Amino acid sequence: MFAQSGFIAVDWGTTNRRAYRVGGDGRHDAEFEDDRGVLSIARGGFPAATAEIRARLGDWPLLLAGMVGSNKGWVEAPYVRCPGGFDELAANVVWTEPERSAIVPGLSYLAGDHADVMRGEEVQMLGAVARGLIPADGLACHPGTHNKWVLLEGARITAFRTVMTGELFNMLKSRGILADWLQGPVEVGDVFLSGVREGLKGGAMAADLFAVRARVLLGQANAADAPSFTSGLLIGSDVFAGLGEAAGAVTVIGRPDLTRLYAAAIAEAGREATQVDGEEAFLAGIIEVARRIS
């Protein structure tokens, strides 16, 4: 029903949301982004928060993805266990208003000791495959607060692993012994890449982080380099964990300011990296889900 009539697609995350008006022809003609993320909505506030979206983009059905389907969101949409592709996502949407609003579920992964979950990135990842921006088989990552390393096989997500690099960097920046030095910009350059090389060794990050401070105190490094070095260290460690045994090129999908950092780190690890804008991929993905909901 969504695809025929047109609908509003919403990528509703923890701290912000992006909404797009998609016509029956599959093209989007209006959008907005604001900071009304899931954590800013009070319990019981989602009907009003979705009414705001319709007030801005028109009275259309809503197809929602991301943390809006978590236990802190509007209605919980249970995770679909991997492997998962568009068919599994579409078959498991949860209707919050009959024939008017549905939430796309996230994915879960369990293998031996490892447990993992995602909500929202799967729509972007699969959308990028549908649009031909990334191969249907291979390794991709989605940097953000929680970076997701995803294994794609036959246009489905078969395994994934989350590394909370963004959250750790934000924490280190907001308080603690390195905070004063992490306020400046992160630049991709020699300093960032030297941090990446340190992280790629797979050493003890909690020790390497303290050394950032000690090097400055002992005159071995400049305080102004701390943001780039620390970001490189965390991302290098993330890439070390994520590349694992897989071979071949890696796609980095998401916000361009983050994908450029990961692409540089992956290249430093000797692997080819391609960047894809997550916004375009999200639209492609949510339209594919919509097409499968009758």
Q: Looking at residues 250 to 269 of the shown chain, list those that interact with a second copy (rule: CB under 8 A).
A: none
113 contributes a contact to a second copy by CB under 8 A: yes
CB of 71 to a second copy, least distance (A): 8
Residue 172 or residue 281: which is nearer to a second copy going by CB?
A: 172
Residue 130 or residue 163: which is nearer to a second copy going by CB?
A: 163
The structure tokens listed for 56 are 């801005």
How many residues form the binding site for a second copy (CB under 8 A)? 46
172 contributes a contact to a second copy by CB under 8 A: yes
The structure tokens listed for 103 are 């939430």
Q: What whole-number distance in Å separates Cα of residue 160 and Cα of residue 264?
A: 21
12 contributes a contact to a second copy by CB under 8 A: no
1 contributes a contact to a second copy by CB under 8 A: no
Q: In what order do the strands lie in the sheet with 138-142?
A: 156-163, 147-153, 138-142, 250-254, 273-277
**Of the listed pieces 53-61, 126-134, 156-164, 262-270, which binds a second copy according to CB under 8 A?**
156-164
Q: What whole-number distance in Å separates Cα of residue 271 and Cα of residue 211?
A: 28
CB of 90 to a second copy, least distance (A): 22
Q: Looking at residues 194 to 233 of the shown chain, list those that interact with a second copy (rule: CB under 8 A).
A: 198, 202-207, 209-211, 213-215, 217-218, 220-221
Residue 32 or residue 210: which is nearer to a second copy going by CB?
A: 210
What does the angle CA 148 – CA 10 – CA 276 come to, to the nearest 5 degrees? 45
Pairing between β-strand 62-66 and β-strand 101-103 as defined by DSSP bridges: parallel
Q: Cβ neighbours of residue 134 under 8 Å, at least 6 residues apart?
A: 125, 128, 140, 152, 251, 253, 274, 276
Residue 108 or residue 275: which is nearer to a second copy going by CB?
A: 108
- Please report where in the chains the tokens 């949860």 appear, as a residue: 94
Residue 57 or residue 243: which is nearer to a second copy going by CB?
A: 243
39 contributes a contact to a second copy by CB under 8 A: no
Residue 61 or residue 143: which is nearer to a second copy going by CB?
A: 143
**Of the listed pieces 48-56, 151-159, 237-245, 283-291, which binds a second copy according to CB under 8 A?**
237-245
Q: What whole-number distance in Å separates Cα of residue 126 and Cα of residue 282?
A: 8
Taking CB atoms within 8 Å and a gap of at least 24, the contacts of 46-54 are 46/73, 46/74, 46/75, 46/96, 50/74, 50/101, 53/8, 53/10, 53/19, 54/8
Question: What's phi and psi for 176, nearest 5 deg?
Answer: 95, -175
Residue 129 or residue 235: which is nearer to a second copy going by CB?
A: 235
Helix axes 226-243, 165-174, angle to 10 degrees: 160
Q: In the complex, which residues of this chain contact a second copy (CB under 8 A)?
A: 71, 79, 108, 110, 113-117, 146, 161-165, 167-168, 170-172, 174-177, 198, 202-207, 209-211, 213-215, 217-218, 220-221, 234, 237-238, 240-241
